[in-house]
Amino acid sequence: MNSAQTPRVAFLASASSDAQEALQALVAEHGQHEPDEADVLCALGGDGFMLQTLHRHGALGKPVYGMKLGGVGFLMNQYQRQGLLERLRAAEPSVLRPLEMVAQTESGASVGSLAYNEVSLLRQTRQAAHLSIELNGKLRLEELICDGVLVSTPAGSTAYNFSAHGPIMPLGASVVALTPIAPFRPRRWRGALLKAQTEVRFRVLDPYKRPVSATADSHEVRDVVDVTIRESRDRVVTLLFDPEHNLEERILSEQFVV
């Protein structure tokens, strides 16, 4: 950030008592600005609150600096009240491009949403989902029988994708991961790495007997019959990280945990 001026900060906090206490202290010290008037947004909470902040304010195009005051903080910096302005000036940017999901439901509705981590399709009942997969209009998998399947961004690859045995991807790789969740047929299919520009289309083969939901980050759409996912062409967000613990380093470190 520009070191010649004091940045105008919009402080945003989750509902937790720790985050609310930090909010009051930081506003008292630095003042408060509305998000659309600020130079930077400072999100206080966990990764869930960071995603909420990106969904709510991402269209503003303002950089977001998070501080961990929640359970999971992969997208956050460590919380420290002192030296915030110096940390903001020294912070390194990580540019993220979300996925766009368009889901068609049994009722004929079309629902769109963005996902900074992943879009996941999951069975809604005890019966496995039956899905077909098309890539750029070409049928690649006629029938996948599974608990679900997801498409993950590099930033989200250490979250649900990694738990489902998907690959961890470095930032800037221009790829997304297509990862099955408990696949039954083909039993040994482990998914695929795709160019980020690939359009992925899932069709639910038996939506009435085997209903499926689609979730973009935390936005769930139930009873879907057709879901199309592509990288956003016009939406980007910038996260700010302390130089000693930036997002690229965190993603790398996750691959050497034993």
pLDDT number for residue 257: 67
Q: What is the pLDDT of residues 1-24, one digit of tens each?
A: 555 678 999 999 999 999 999 999
Amino acid residing at 21: E
Q: Is 140 exposed, middle or buried (0-12, 13-18, 19+ CB in 10 A)?
A: middle
| Confidence (pTM) | 0.86
According to DSSP, the residues that pair with 93 across neighbouring strands are: 240
**Both tokens assigned to 67:** 């501080």
What separation in angstroms does the CA of 58 have from each of 12, 23, 61, 141, 166? 13, 20, 6, 34, 27
Per-residue pLDDT tens for 183-234?
A: 999 988 999 999 999 999 999 999 999 999 999 998 999 999 999 999 998 8
Give the Cα separation of 80 and 149 in Å (integer).
38
> Which residues does the annotation place in the binding site?
47-48, 117-118, 147, 155, 158-163, 182
CATH 3.40.50.10330 positions along the chain are 9-97+236-254
Structural contact between residues 241 and 92, judged by C-beta atoms closer than 8 angstroms: yes
State the span(s) of the chain assigned CATH 2.60.200.30.
99-231
* Averaged confidence pLDDT in the chain: 93
CA angle 15, 18, 21 (to 5 degrees): 90
Instruction: Return the structure tokens found at 15.
Output: 């509902």
Superfamily of domain 9-97+236-254: Probable inorganic polyphosphate/atp-NAD kinase; domain 1 (3.40.50.10330)
* CATH superfamily, with its number, for domain 99-231: Probable inorganic polyphosphate/atp-NAD kinase; domain 2 (2.60.200.30)
**Binding region for NAD(+):** 47-48, 117-118, 147, 155, 158-163, 182
Q: How far apart are alpha carbons 128 and 185 in whole angstroms? A: 10
Catalytic residue IDs: 47
Cα 72 → chain centroid:
13
